[in-house]
Amino acid sequence: MIVFAIYNLKGGVGKTAAAVNLSYLASLGGHKTLLWDLDPQGAASFYYRIEPTTAKNPSTLLDRKRGLAAAVRGTNYPGLDIIPADFGYRNLDVALSEFRKPTTRLGKLLAPLAEDYDLAFVDCAPHLSLASENVFDMADWLLVPVIPTPLAVRAYAQLREFCERGKLTSKKLLPFFSMVDGRRQLHRDLVTQFAKEHPEVLRRFIPYTSQVEKMGEQRAPVQTFAPTSPGARAFSALWGAICERIDLVDLA
């Protein structure tokens, strides 16, 4: 099972939209796909019309005997399941800190599901914490949406620095631009400059478009209700670029 984590230090960068649309496209490509909504806000669960659970003790979520399989829910789309968000995730760092190896616990929980799924996507909360260090450890690839602003570019530089300082391979970082307004000179300049300085960036971006914003109204991936829209085409192109980068072939 290949594990993709969608992560950024900053919030509001289109992280959950990417998690929802890319997981849907992966399942459409014939891959048995799991989405783990690890953000206590539960936006990815909301988009897939599944309510967050309400475990009071986050330690319950980390019980290896219970496992994650009991938390898996089906979606309305064939080949795509979800582990919905839990409000207990807001205290996840406290529970993780009680383990002897606190940065590997989530990976150990996810590992038994590798027999059931080809791909897993993890939608992460936007902060640097024990939970995110677990994500860095278990992910094969970190998909990092970057909006074209100086602060967002700085946040990506901080993430790279953290990975290198913590002896985590930065080769698993796959940044891509999100919420790009091609009419703005600042956006065009930042995208161009970033690509020169970061050859790892995926050469497809997600535009700032109303169709992606309407995901909140439709509670569905954009491809399902506006399949020919610029947003839908952009996510399809991004998924194609990801598959090409990691040599992943769609099965459908």
Low-confidence ranges of the chain (pLDDT < 50): none
| Closest among 93, 84, 95, 104 to 38, alpha carbons compared | 84
Task: Name the residue type at position 157.
Answer: A
Taken as a whole, the chain contains a residue count of 252
pLDDT at residue 142, as a whole number = 95
How many other β-carbons are positioned within 10 Å of the β-carbon of residue 154? 12
Instruction: Return d(Cα 248, Cα 16) in angstroms, integer.
Output: 22
| Closest among 122, 113, 128, 144 to 38, alpha carbons compared | 122
Tokens of 126: 């936007």
Instruction: Return d(Cα 155, Cα 94) in angstroms, integer.
Output: 25
pLDDT at residue 96, as a whole number = 80
Query: What does residue 23 show for φ and ψ, rounded to 5 degrees?
Result: -65, -40
Q: How many angstroms separate the Cα of 220 from the Cα of each of 48, 177, 181?
A: 6, 22, 23
Under a CB-based contact definition with an 8 Å cutoff, are residues 140 and 6 in contact? Answer: no
pLDDT at residue 86, as a whole number = 84
Under a CB-based contact definition with an 8 Å cutoff, are residues 157 and 149 in contact? Answer: no
Four-way CATH pick for 2-246: 3.40.50.620, 3.40.50.2020, 3.40.50.300, 3.60.20.10: 3.40.50.300
pLDDT at residue 204, as a whole number = 95
Buried b (16+ CB within 10 A) or exposed e, 176-196: bbbbbeeeeeebeebbeebbe
Q: How many angstroms separate the Cα of 33 from the Cα of each of 3, 83, 122, 156?
A: 10, 11, 11, 27
Per-domain residue ranges of the chain: 2-246
Q: What is the pTM of this model?
A: 0.93
pLDDT at residue 127, as a whole number = 78
The side-by-side arrangement of strands in the sheet containing 33-37 is 73-74, 80-83, 33-37, 119-123, 2-6, 141-146, 173-177
